[in-house]
Structure 1
């Protein structure tokens, strides 16, 4: 892919940005941005989930990624609506999560006291990278932030995002992408109606 908006990062959560790799969900045939295994590798590297060194990625990894993406989308939208995700979607998310690399536990000294911290690190393969995406989805599904997940209000978008606006009234995935376009389109329609 070579377009400027290849992978948009308006979701506010890694798992929603991953869900947003399928564009134009409002169309009968949405636009897929993960068309080949290399696209998956580039997306995972773009969000620092995959180690930089080269790795061979089978076609099955891409199919697993798409299955995970759609399970996350269905689970989040179902939970936002007050329901429970299906057992099948839960199983897909949990299976992917199990492949995530363990965080690196480190010893720290803070204010003269021993403590610990953990830092996530990049996965060695796509299964591990997808596992980290699945873990982010699980964290979102269990957090109060879930109530702030929205779908872009533009009739030509449908990207998912977390509304972190102070008044909790964000309508578009991005003001520069859909907000301004929608406002211009509505203004033009009102101008034509007056004429």
Structure 2
């Protein structure tokens, strides 16, 4: 990944941000996880692995496979279907590597409750397990029906539409929304 290519984290869920590491799916897909270190930097930037975590040279293929399984599963369920058995297996296998959440206590409204913190993983496989766990949680929640693909004809990023009306069209108004509106305005003016 080049230095001027920053990670886009507009998905609203860590699993969708991970899916969005493959850019320009609408045309010729552009891979941002080109080197094992790219994967490690993405996981660190997402706060999923400790600073001293290391990545092996063979970590990219399973990471990319997980990314595509999450994408197919989420879009399938968001569209009213079910994920394929192979995608379910891939996600479940990755979830097994996730560290267990840390049990913590919380006093709320005069009552003692259990709370958990996700913590950080010590290695890349466990970090990917945290991504997969987030995907599993999304797939089991009603929020999955609010997953959208950016409406820009030059984007294709996935995001959760948390707008009150449920009609958000862009992954980011500042990036895709404004650019699309400017292009449309310029076309109308030129006619």
Q: TM-score scaled by structure 2?
A: 0.95
CA distance in structure 2 between the partners assigned to 1:108 and 1:187 by the alignment: 52
Could you say which residue in structure 2 is the equivalent of 1:33?
Answer: 32
> Superposed, which structure 2 residues align to 1:157-172 within 5 Å?
157-172=155-170
More deviation, 100-109/117-126: 100-109
Say if 1:158 and 1:111 are closer, same or farther in 2 by CA, change over 3 A.
closer
2:28 corresponds to 1:7: no
Count residues with an aligned counterpart: 191
Instruction: Assess if the C-alpha contact under 8 Å between 2:97 and 2:125 holds in 1.
Output: yes
CA distance in structure 2 between the partners assigned to 1:175 and 1:111 by the alignment: 38
Instruction: Assess if the C-alpha contact under 8 Å between 2:10 and 2:172 holds in 1.
Output: yes
CA distance in structure 2 between the partners assigned to 1:31 and 1:10 by the alignment: 18
CA distance in structure 2 between the partners assigned to 1:173 and 1:5 by the alignment: 17
Say if 1:58 and 1:182 are closer, same or farther in 2 by CA, change over 3 A.
same
Q: Give the secondary-structure state (helix, strand or coil) at the position aligned to 2:59.
A: helix
Instruction: Assess if the C-alpha contact under 8 Å between 2:53 and 2:124 holds in 1.
Output: no
1:41-88 residue CA offsets vs partner (Å, 9 max, x unmatched): 000000110001142x22321111100000000001111111111100
CA distance in structure 1 between the partners assigned to 2:165 and 2:107 by the alignment: 39
CA distance in structure 1 between the partners assigned to 2:109 and 2:78 by the alignment: 41
2:154 corresponds to 1:189: no
Structure 1, unaligned runs of 5 or more: none
Structure 2, unaligned runs of 5 or more: none
Could you say which residue in structure 2 is the equivalent of 1:85?
Answer: 83
Q: TM-score scaled by structure 1?
A: 0.93
Say if 1:54 and 1:149 are closer, same or farther in 2 by CA, change over 3 A.
closer
Task: State the superposition RMSD in angstroms.
Answer: 1.4
